[in-house]
């Protein structure tokens, strides 16, 4: 017997229209804004170089992003998180050669300020990615002080000797000869630790972070960030025992100073130990959120690893519902009233979800409910909403090995279409394996998916709209539904405004639903059958 919601097409037409109207409403002055409950946000995580090119050089840029803000609103996301924007000789823009300048391939400082104002005019928020622990060769702090103890920049680099010949280095034990890191497309760099113990460096850092909060110092934050992502935040920098107690002594004063200007500033720390929930980091440093790596490990069936430099990339997953329930409940216990967990299934350091599930079409689609319907703040990595694949080529051999997971957003089926940010086109094996060079591009491209009502893109858009329309999916309690059948993941989201149940078939075979009594439940997404749920399918039910 089938149970279905009355007029589902009309329901979704009204829900998406309501959410779109709300998203397009002009933002109030940031200086008067009420504190944000970040459970109401949906983050869109982007490497801007790969997003949209406005000037024909194949590099995504700030002006191009402004052109695509309407697309993000149509999708339904509310907050934009960039990888770094500062000037760097690395394509991913970590390890800057100039912290204070915008990478010229992204645009000018005026382009940046115009971008932030445009985001705010759309009623959206912007988070800036920060990695301010290192300086590479090419940065004057390193170049002018190395082997030159008389340099005024010596204060900025942590040297272990009096001749400035032995800097503390990224990843390397103290006393290691100068190590060389390759970068794409060519070139080599040394990467040294900043001396974050030095009062001069700490003062510089305070001023640097404060600048981005209110660039023109007028007390109006229309041109200021809404928050920061702190890359690889840790208490003992690289576990060397030389720059310690950073949460309290270094990060907390910076966060407090920034909030003294804008109390609504939001700070998410990428905890250095991915096997940790990050709750202790939040408590000690004063950050607001951490990334829920534990949930991603559970959803991908992977063992926990320490960080991106631990080789645990694999394809093919098995999800254990009991493990998922346990992680979600533990996360809720750790973060209720004390911080936020940011949920994700892919980011700029991991395999794409589609590759984790070996591009199984059904499992690709399940990435949407697993990202958007769990408790926490959902984060979507750009083009995840299209189900694009991407694998790391080799493990920490060369930063180009990560280009396949940071590929150009496929606006159309042709990478030569103006606007496609295929900056690495025809440069090596990372381009050879690009989805732009496969037959799959004809179904992956946004232009194709927007025309297909059953596409992954439409699914993400519908679930974002559902999340926005129903407080249960943002604020509600998570209640596991314990089942004998471990091929089914089921949970409820319970709120004063309504009770919902999500039922997911994690297998490639129909799974019986005879454990359920569907009386009193109706479907708001998908259809329910009291005999079986089809392979890799899910339904969202509402209790009448």
CB neighbour list of residue 255: distance below 8 Å, 6 or more residues apart? 265, 267, 285, 286, 287
User: In the predicted model, what is the mean pLDDT of residues 330-343?
Assistant: 92
SS (H, E, C) 58-94: CCCCHHHHHHCHHHHHHHCCCEEEECCCEECCCCCCC
Residue 463 pLDDT > 90: yes
Can you give the C-alpha Rg of the chain in angstroms? 24
* Residue 302: per-residue pLDDT: 79
Distance CA 419, CA 453 (A): 25
Averaged pLDDT for residues 447-451: 98
- Collapse the DSSP code of 403 into the 3-class scheme (helix H, G, I; strand E, B; otherwise coil) and give the result: helix
Residue 27 confidence (pLDDT)? 40
Residue 341, pLDDT score: 97
Helix H or strand E encompassing 532: strand 532-533
Cα–Cα distances in angstroms (integers) from residue 428 to residues 283, 364, 399, in the given order: 45, 27, 13
Confidence of residue 395 (pLDDT cuts 50, 70, 90): low
Q: Is the pLDDT of residue 334 over 50?
A: yes
Joined tokens for residue 254 = 């910076």
Q: What is the mean pLDDT of residues 499-520?
A: 95
Q: What is the pLDDT of residues 365-374, one digit of tens each?
A: 999 999 999 9
pLDDT for residue 301? 85
Mean pLDDT for the stretch of residues 346-356: 95
Contacts (Cβ under 8 Å, ≥6 apart) of 282? 269, 288, 289, 290, 338, 339
pLDDT band at 313 (very low <50, low <70, confident <90, very high): low
Residue 307's pLDDT is what? Answer: 62
Under the banding of pLDDT at 50, 70 and 90, the label for residue 5 is very low
Q: Is 519 exposed, middle or buried (0-12, 13-18, 19+ CB in 10 A)?
A: exposed
Please give the span between the terminal C-alpha atoms of the chain, in angstroms, as a whole number. 18
Residue 157: phi, psi to the nearest 5? -105, 140
Q: Which pTM value belongs to this model?
A: 0.93
pLDDT range class, residue 396, cuts 50, 70, 90: low
Contact 222, 116 (CB under 8 A): yes
User: Considering the chain, what percentage of its residues have pLDDT values greater than 70?
Assistant: 91
| CA 449/CA 437 separation, integer angstroms | 18
Q: Which residues 6+ apart lie within 8 Å of 55 measured at CB? A: 61, 63, 64
Q: What's the burial of 83, exposed, middle or buried (CB within 10 Å: 0-12/13-18/19+)? A: buried
Mean pLDDT of 224-238: 97
- Do residues 141 and 156 make contact, with C-beta atoms less than 8 angstroms apart? yes
Residue 258 · residue 275 · CB < 8 Å = no
How many CA atoms, within 13 angstroms, populate the side-chain half-sphere of residue 23? Answer: 27
Mean pLDDT across the chain: 92
Give residue 35's pLDDT band: very low, low, confident or very high (50, 70, 90). confident
Mean pLDDT over residues 18-41, rounded?
58
Residue (of 500, 504, 525) closest to 513 by Cα position: 504
Does residue 286 carry a pLDDT above 50? yes
Which of 380, 352, 383 has its CA nearest to residue 368?
380
Higher pLDDT, residue 21 or 446: 446
At residue 506's C-alpha, the angle toward residues 501 and 507, to 5°, is 140
Task: Provide the token pair at 306.
Answer: 């320490």
pLDDT value of position 40: 97
Q: What is the pLDDT of residue 530?
A: 85
Which of 77-91, 214-228, 309-323, 424-438 is predicted least confidently?
309-323
**Average pLDDT of span 225-243:** 97
* Burial class (CB within 10 angstroms; exposed 0-12, middle 13-18, buried 19+) of 33: middle
């Amino acid at each position: 017997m089938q149970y279905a919601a009355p007029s589902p097409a009309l329901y979704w037409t009204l829900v998406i229209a309501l959410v779109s109207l709300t998203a397009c409403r002009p933002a109030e002055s940031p200086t008067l804004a009420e504190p944000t409950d970040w459970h109401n946000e949906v983050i869109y995580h982007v490497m801007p170089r790969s997003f949209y090119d406005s000037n024909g050089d194949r590099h995504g840029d700030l002006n191009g992003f402004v052109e695509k803000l309407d697309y993000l609103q149509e999708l339904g996301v509310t907050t934009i998180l960039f990888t770094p924007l500062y000037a760097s000789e690395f394509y991913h823009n970590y390890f800057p050669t100039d912290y204070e300048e915008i990478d010229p391939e992204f645009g000018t400082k005026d382009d940046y300020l115009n971008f932030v104002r445009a985001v705010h005019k759309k009623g959206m928020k912007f988070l800036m990615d920060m990695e301010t622990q290192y300086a590479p060769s090419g940065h004057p702090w390193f170049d002018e002080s190395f082997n030159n103890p008389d340099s005024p920049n010596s204060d900025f680099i942590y040297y272990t000797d009096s001749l400035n010949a032995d800097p503390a280095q990224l990843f390397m034990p103290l006393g290691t000869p100068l190590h060389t890191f390759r970068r794409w497309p060519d070139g080599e760099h040394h990467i040294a630790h900043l001396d974050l113990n030095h009062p001069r460096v700490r003062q510089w850092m305070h001023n640097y972070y404060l600048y981005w909060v209110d660039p023109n110092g007028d007390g109006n934050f229309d041109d200021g960030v809404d928050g920061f992502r702190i890359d690889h935040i840790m208490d003992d920098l690289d576990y060397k025992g030389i720059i310690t107690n950073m949460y309290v002594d270094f990060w907390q004063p910076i966060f407090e100073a920034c909030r003294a200007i804008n109390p609504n500033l939001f700070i998410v720390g990428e905890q250095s130990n991915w096997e940790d929930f990050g709750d202790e980091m939040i408590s000690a440093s004063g950050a607001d959120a951490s990334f829920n790596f534990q949930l991603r490990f559970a959803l991908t069936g992977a063992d926990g690893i320490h960080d991106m430099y631990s080789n645990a990339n694999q394809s093919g997953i098995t999800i254990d519902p009991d493990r998922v329930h346990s992680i979600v409940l533990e996360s809720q216990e750790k973060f209720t009233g004390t911080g936020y967990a940011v949920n994700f299934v892919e980011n700029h350091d991991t395999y794409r979800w589609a590759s984790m599930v070996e591009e199984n079409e059904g499992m690709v689609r399940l990435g949407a409910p697993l990202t958007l319907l769990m408790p926490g703040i959902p984060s979507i990595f750009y083009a995840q909403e299209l189900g694009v694949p991407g694998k790391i080529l080799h493990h920490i051999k060369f930063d180009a090995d990560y280009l396949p997971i940071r590929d150009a957003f496929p606006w159309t089926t042709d990478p030569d279409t103006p606007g496609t940010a295929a900056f690495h086109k025809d440069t090596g094996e990372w381009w050879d394996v690009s989805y732009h060079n496969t037959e799959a591009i004809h179904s992956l491209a946004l232009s194709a998916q927007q025309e297909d009502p059953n596409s992954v893109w439409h699914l993400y858009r519908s679930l974002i709209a559902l999340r926005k329309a129903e407080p249960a999916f943002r604020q509600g309690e998570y209640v596991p539904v314990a089942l004998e059948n471990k091929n089914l993941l089921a949970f409820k989201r319970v709120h004063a405004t309504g009770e919902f149940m999500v039922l997911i078939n994690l297998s490639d075979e129909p799974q019986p639903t005879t454990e359920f009594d569907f009386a009193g439940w109706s479907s708001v997404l998908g259809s329910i059958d009291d005999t079986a749920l089809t392979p890799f399918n899910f339904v969202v039910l509402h209790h009448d």
